[in-house]
Structure 1
Amino acid sequence: MTTTLITGANRSLGLETARRLIDAGHTVYAGMRDLATGDDVRALGAHAVQLDVTDQASVDAAFATLPALDVLVNNAGVLGTSHGVDDLDVAAMTEVFDTNVMAVVRLTQAALPLLRRSANPVIVNVASGVGFTRWLTTPGHDEFGVPSIPYAASKAAVIALTVQYAKNLPEMRVNASDPGYTATAFNGFGGHQTITEGTDATVALALIDRDGPSGEFHDRTGRIAY
């Protein structure tokens, strides 16, 4: 049985990822800050786990409840409150980076002891095309018109973290996914993809075996060349 932990799993992309991985046979532990918000994921058959990705004590307590771990999905993320230059300051950057970047490190480091006991250890970091500079600078891509600095910079950091973790952990499969412009509360349901389409890349990367790719960035159509 494959044991999977998903952060931010009580709603949106995290909830759909949990549903699909449970359907694929995974035992899913669904991390969330407030267990009172976990009814939907419990109804799927997941184990709700109190987990604030910005709090090391919360992370440590959550991992202490896991019997094993084969797949870590770093899904939790925030958009932040700064969407241009005039409202940007260091505090705005720090808030977004703590959840979107530092938490990836916090969770991954905490997960390593359990993942190293797995026969097929996998890490999936949910990034974004908004962190991919080629798309940010290419007219016609959804990402081109995005002005936000903290969110874009944080997701660029997640892609780089993924590549570097993959180099350092050759025995594991470590990849980043791009959900694409998906209709969620995150964007006021303005995306043109369904929630299922938005989890295609994350789910596919969570299901790879030991001879699968590592250090790559994928969207629902496959690998995105750096």
Structure 2
Amino acid sequence: MTGTDLANADELLAGSGLVALVTGGNSGIGFEIARELLARRVEVWIGARDRRKGEAAARELGSSVRVVSLDVTDPATIEAAAAEIGDLDILINNAGINPGGEDISATSVDQLRRAFETNVFGLVAVTQAFLPALERSMHPRIVNISSGTGSLAWNSGPNPQFDWERVKGGGFAYRISKTAVNAATLLAAQALGDRVKVNALAPGLRRTNLLPGMTAGGDPAEAAGGAVRLALLPDDGPSGSLWSWDGSRVPW
């Protein structure tokens, strides 16, 4: 593996015996990630703030899915989820929000706080709670669902893979929070070293609840494939990088 392209990377194994948690797994990209992991015989837990929505998603995915009540902004539910799930091999930090707002002049500090509460602080809190279980695993993997719009390299000038002129300065709260997710991914990978592989995924623009009413964007299932590749990396796979859904590396 070159470390610059995961499109043709071998998967760790069929998945049998592995246990995964997908936060925000009841809809959108998280739902499709759960579906693909199940197809690879991974035991999947979906974390949902609304238990009824989680159970509805589980019924659609199949009886082998398990649901755990998990609000990434609520320490009590995080602690309870970690206790209920027990052993864990794969953590997909997928839960996220877009609190609205445009550029810095049209985004409130409250919107910024809400973005960080879920997208950054929640991600870190969940990761910390499950680290003891992950470090007991033979093949621990963390995948943080980020965004190419959080890449400082892509945001700093025209790029053929990024519509810089259309989005520059906009999505202030959401994009800053995803830049922080990228930093958290890199620093966590450095701290955990060979013990746990930590990577981030830029899923591309998708039709999800993140942008209600949006008709543009691709199929969430397409992005889910990229997350699953990172979740099932072989033991010689990379750590501490941001990857596009298509398997190419994205600059920080």
Question: What TM-score do the two structures reach when normalised by structure 1?
Answer: 0.94
Which is further off, 140-149 or 160-169?
Answer: 140-149
In 1, Cα distance between equivalents of 2:58 and 2:165: 34
2:137 aligned partner: 118
Of 130, 138, 154 in structure 1, the residue corresponding to residue 158 of structure 2 is 138
In 2, Cα distance between equivalents of 1:201 and 1:163: 18
1:209 aligned partner: 234
In 2, Cα distance between equivalents of 1:69 and 1:26: 11
Of 209, 231, 235 in structure 2, the residue corresponding to residue 185 of structure 1 is 209
- Whether contact under 8 Å (2:151, 2:251) holds in the other structure is no
2:25 maps to 1:4: no
**CA, structure 1 residues 106+143, in 2 after alignment: closer, same or farther (shift >3 Å)?**
farther
Question: What TM-score do the two structures reach when normalised by structure 2?
Answer: 0.85
Identity of aligned pairs, percent?
38
1:194 aligned partner: 219
Which is further off, 211-220 or 131-140?
Answer: 131-140
**CA, structure 1 residues 144+37, in 2 after alignment: closer, same or farther (shift >3 Å)?**
farther
In 1, Cα distance between equivalents of 2:116 and 2:99: 9
2:6 aligned partner: none
In 2, Cα distance between equivalents of 1:174 and 1:165: 7
In 1, Cα distance between equivalents of 2:209 and 2:76: 29
Give CA deviations for 1:112-139 in whole Å, capped at 9, x if unaligned. Answer: 1100110000000000001012222325
Code of the aligned partner of 1:151: Y
For the residue of structure 2 that corresponds to 1:86, the secondary structure is helix
Equivalent runs, 1:1-226 vs 2, <5 Å? 1-38=17-54, 39-44=56-61, 45-136=64-155, 137-138=157-158, 141-142=162-163, 144-146=165-167, 147-170=170-193, 171-187=195-211, 188-222=213-247, 223-226=249-252
In 1, Cα distance between equivalents of 2:239 and 2:159: 29
For the residue of structure 1 that corresponds to 2:68, the secondary structure is strand
Give CA deviations for 1:172-214 in whole Å, capped at 9, x if unaligned. Answer: 1100001001222323343332121122221110111321110
In 2, Cα distance between equivalents of 1:62 and 1:42: 20
- Whether contact under 8 Å (1:184, 1:190) holds in the other structure is no
Unmatched 5+ stretches in structure 2: 1-16
Give CA deviations for 1:142-185 in whole Å, capped at 9, x if unaligned. Answer: 45523111111000010110000000001111000010012223
Q: How many residues were matched structurally?
A: 226
Unmatched 5+ stretches in structure 1: none
- Whether contact under 8 Å (2:148, 2:250) holds in the other structure is no
Code of the aligned partner of 1:10: N
Greater RCO, CA 8 A, separation 6+:
2
In 2, Cα distance between equivalents of 1:205 and 1:115: 15
